[in-house]
Structure 1
Amino acid sequence: MNYPSNSLGLKWDLVLDAFKFCVEADNRPYTRRGILSRVNSFFDPLGLIAPTTIQGRLLLRKVSSTEDWDSPLPKDLSDEWEHWVESLQDLNTLKVPWTYSPVPIYDASCKDIHVFSDASEKAIGTVAYIRTFDDDGNPHLGFIFGKSRLAPTQGHNILRLKLCAAVLAVEVAESIVQHLNANVSNNGDSTRMSQTVKRVSVSLQYLLSGLMSRQTRTLPI
């Protein structure tokens, strides 16, 4: 039989050599306290399920300013919460390989890191992948890291949020470059920010100038 082992708070499938999640049925009450408990129950340091957990955090934000800790959720929020909880069962089928690539990173004939970033009015996020090539020229793609954050509720337009996502992507890239010797390609909106400089305010131009300078040092374009 295959008995998963715990590693870094995640399940590790010893046979497939992959991370996996085991999500059990949720019996927490449909209250603000129950939502907080459920959202914080996931330990995901690599951002493997960031697109899923960010939805729970968005719902928690909705109830944080209107509901008491132990008051039942209104019908509309209760339905939304129930739908999200049911969707968590799909995580039981998720398996992410433990290694970045079947080819050892330092033995690959070529390796590139690709960082994507984007933003909406609700959240910002970034994700990094590594692409390696073996001696026969066959490509292999591996997940490295993902990160998401709730967008501020006010005082920001979509351009500002995309700038924040670009900064987050550069921070992730800098961290990866410190540990892996590979070329980095940024595929987010930050690579096109220089085209928007005339559309932003003076304060944003200072932020953009610093971002592009930082990006040039980290991401060869």
Structure 2
Amino acid sequence: MADIEAMFHQVVVTQEHRDALRFLWWNNEHMSKPPATYRMKVHLFGGVWSPSCAAFALQRTFQDHGKYLHEEIQKEVPQSEKAVGEKEILLGDKLPTVRALGILWDLKEDELAVQVRIPKKPETKLGLLSMISSIYDPLGFLDPSVIRAKMIFQEDDTSQRAYGVVSYLRMTNAEGAHQISFVCGKAKLAPLKQQTIPRLELCAASGPEWNGSLEEQQMDSRAGPAFLSLDEGQWPRNDLKIQNLTDEDPEVKKETTVLATNVSQGQDILEKLWNRYSSWYRLLKGVAWIKRFLQWLVGKKDGTCHQGNRLLAREVEEARLVVLKCLREKHFSQEIKTLKGTQRVRHGEMSRLETHLGMDGLIRVGGHLTDQKTPILLPREDRLTELIVQEIHATKTGHSGREYTLAALHENYWIPKCRRLLDRVLRTCLEGVHRNDAP
């Protein structure tokens, strides 16, 4: 076994790809002068592509020069750079057992083993837990034994206390001979809530290929169950016939009856529609297509139906006004009546705002200026309002911070006390979180 020093820097980047690795550098730390532009000739530490490129270069080198690679490495590597304790082994010598990543490797038998030294601990649950934790077994060789010690911490039915899974690699050569190798194993305690055997087997099925509930089985830990060495036609088959389950069986899902009453028969169809969308722009496109379809139904009779498979900007803007008017009727119906009577709203949050009805029928804030310069009033607690804020934050401000998003929002909309809503939108924006966390 060996390690490659500075592995990424040992792999050269092709000439046509080096422009992607440009960087600026001030020579002699003179920051007052213009920086020089350099290009990396080798792969970077921290580059997401570097591991795969280095692994490919290593494999390709072995494919092209593997026949003589071992001898060349032995000649090129100086003795001072070799691992401590390295020694030459002649063909007639007895191969030793070495340690690799905490696992013992028997070179003669080509087998892996785990050495366990049980420390002296008090005969308590805490002492037992300390002994279990001191066993280093990353491949799961000892799981069938260690799991029995873990069972002491639970009291349950013997056949339902734990479940395990083990995976073997089965290779077949050209002559049809099979070789079985242990890959890894895993054992877990069953949940405290009693589970059925089929459900425990389903839990184990989420692991490697061969699995089952933990039982007493006599098998070679290296070769696995004996049937794996046979042809697949000779493997044992489960001829168990599934009987009809009764309602008392714990695996039968109980039916749940839900009774619902529609308390709002006159709910607007558009409100049902926008609950199906997670984007403000997609919602507007959906409404625009519905309006296009309705116009087509009307125009089909007199031959004036619209042709084309693309929406016009005018149609999307008309859809926006339709949705905003629906939102206005849902939250500000009483305020609309007051403003139509040329009176000022004297209650609620609108009493502190200078509001008026715009030419489009929407409530606007900021005096009797043109509709293009006065923002539209929106309710704070509504899903549509949140969709609008998400759209402005993503497309208009490029996932910027709260104050920039608030300024962009006030160009077209006004939401009373909207900072809490903005904070919620920014917290749920994954793109914005990643950008803020970047160095």
Q: Which has the larger radius of gyration?
A: 2
Higher relative contact order (CA 8 A, sep 6+): 1
Higher share in strand? 1
